[in-house]
C-alpha cells in the first residue's frame, strides 16, 4: 500500500508564457498528510490495469496513474504487467493535485523496486505527465517555479492544522490558464516575503501572505463560493485562507490542531464538504 498525498498552494502566480507555449509559474506548495491510497501488483507480462472506488476514474492512458506506469516501463526498458487499485479520498477537480499525486506515487514506488532512475531523472519523467508531479515526487514544502520543474525545498510547515473546504464546482485548469493570457493579474502574491516567513517558521506572517491569482479569474458565482468558504474559515479562527491551484478547494491555516479540529467540527455540523489535515511530517528528514 502506498500513499498519494494532496498538496496545497500557499501562493500561486503566473508570470507569462514561455516560447514552448507553457506558462511560467511561481508557487509555494506544501504536501498534506491527507491523500489517496494505492495498491500495486506487478507480474510478468505487459499492460496496466486500473480500478478505483469511484467510477469517475477510468483505466485509460488519459489516467495519470496509468500514464505514469506506462512511461516508467517504457523509459526503463521493462516489460511488466501492473494492477493498480486506487482508494480515492482527494476531491476530483479541487486543485489539490490528486491525479498528479497518484502519478508521483507510482513513479516513486516502481523506482524503489527497480532502482533505475535517480531522483532528478524521476522528476524529469514527472514533467511529462503534469506540472505538479515533480513537486509531488519531492514532497515537503517548496518554492516551485518554471513549468513546475524548478523546485527549491523550504523549511516544512510544522504541526499546524489545515482545514480544507471543497465548494461544489470544478474549475477547468486549461480554461483558466487561457483566460490569464488575456487578463493579466492586477494583484500578485509577495512570494519572496512568503518564502522568508515560511523559512522562519512565522506562520502568522505567512498566513497573511497567502494569495492565488486564479481567484480573480473565476466566474462570479464561483468566486462568491470561494469567498464564502474563505470567510467561514477565517470566522472560525483560521490565520489565513486561500484557494488551492485552479480551485475549487479552499484551505485555512490554523495555529494548532485543536483550533483546526474545532473549526472542522463546526463545518461538518453545518453540512460543509471539508476535511481536516496538516502538512506532511518527515520525522527522519
- Model pLDDT for residues 11-48, shown as the tens digit of each residue: 999 998 888 778 999 999 999 999 999 999 999 989 99
- Ranking 55-59, 94-98, 236-240, 268-272 by mean pLDDT, the lowest is 55-59
- Model pLDDT for residues 233-263, shown as the tens digit of each residue: 999 999 999 999 999 999 999 999 999 999 9
Task: Check residue 58 and give its pLDDT.
Answer: 75
Name, in order, each residue with C-beta under 8 angstroms of 92's C-beta and a sequence gap of 6 or more.
Answer: 54, 56, 57, 98, 170
Burial degree of 133 (CB within 10 A; 0-12, 13-18, 19+): buried
Domains observed in the chain? 2-153 (3.30.230.10), 161-278 (3.30.70.890)
Task: Check residue 285 and give its pLDDT.
Answer: 37
Name, in order, each residue with C-beta under 8 angstroms of 14's C-beta and a sequence gap of 6 or more.
Answer: 23, 24, 25, 177, 180, 185, 213
Task: Check residue 118 and give its pLDDT.
Answer: 97
pLDDT band at 49 (very low <50, low <70, confident <90, very high): very high
Task: Check residue 19 and give its pLDDT.
Answer: 81
Q: Which residues are catalytic?
A: 7, 132
Helix (H) or strand (E) holding 10: strand 2-17
- Model pLDDT for residues 101-141, shown as the tens digit of each residue: 999 999 999 999 999 999 999 999 999 999 999 999 999 99
Task: Check residue 170 and give its pLDDT.
Answer: 77
| Residues pairing with 243 in the sheet | 250
Model pTM score:
0.94
Task: Check residue 283 and give its pLDDT.
Answer: 57
Question: What average pLDDT does the structure give for the chain?
Answer: 94
pLDDT band at 50 (very low <50, low <70, confident <90, very high): very high
Whose cell is 516567513? That residue is: 197
Amino acid at each position: 500500500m502506498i500513499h498519494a498525498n494532496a498538496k496545497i498552494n500557499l501562493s500561486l502566480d503566473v508570470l507569462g508564457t514561455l516560447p514552448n507555449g507553457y506558462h511560467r509559474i511561481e508557487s509555494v506548495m506544501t504536501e498534506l498528510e491527507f491523500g489517496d491510497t494505492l495498491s500495486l501488483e506487478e507480474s510478468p507480462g505487459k499492460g496496466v490495469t486500473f480500478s478505483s472506488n469511484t467510477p469517475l476514474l477510468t483505466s485509460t492512458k488519459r489516467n495519470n496513474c496509468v500514464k505514469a506506469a506506462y512511461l516508467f516501463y517504457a523509459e526503463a526498458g521493462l516489460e511488466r504487467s501492473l494492477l493498480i487499485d486506487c482508494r480515492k479520498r482527494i476531491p476530483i477537480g479541487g486543485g489539490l493535485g490528486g491525479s498528479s499525486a497518484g502519478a508521483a506515487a507510482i513513479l516513486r514506488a516502481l523506482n524503489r523496486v527497480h532502482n533505475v532512475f535517480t531522483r532528478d531523472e524521476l522528476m524529469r519523467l514527472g514533467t511529462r505527465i503534469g506540472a505538479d508531479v515533480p513537486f509531488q515526487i519531492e514532497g515537503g514544502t517548496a518554492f516551485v517555479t518554471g513549468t513546475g520543474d524548478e523546485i527549491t525545498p523550504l523549511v516544512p510547515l510544522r504541526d499546524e492544522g489545515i482545514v480544507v473546504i471543497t465548494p461544489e464546482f470544478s474549475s477547468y485548469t486549461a480554461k483558466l490558464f487561457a483566460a490569464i493570457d488575456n487578463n493579466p493579474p492586477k494583484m500578485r502574491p509577495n512570494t519572496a516575503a512568503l518564502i522568508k516567513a515560511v523559512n522562519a517558521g512565522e506562520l502568522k506572517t505567512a498566513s497573511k501572505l497567502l494569495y492565488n491569482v486564479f481567484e480573480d479569474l473565476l466566474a462570479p458565482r464561483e468566486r462568491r463560493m470561494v469567498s464564502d468558504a474563505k470567510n467561514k474559515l477565517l470566522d472560525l479562527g483560521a490565520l489565513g485562507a486561500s484557494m488551492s491551484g485552479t480551485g475549487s478547494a479552499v484551505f485555512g491555516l490554523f495555529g494548532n490542531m485543536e483550533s483546526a479540529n474545532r473549526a472542522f467540527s463546526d463545518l461538518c455540523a453545518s453540512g460543509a464538504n471539508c476535511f481536516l489535515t496538516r502538512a506532511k511530517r518527515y520525522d527522519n528528514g
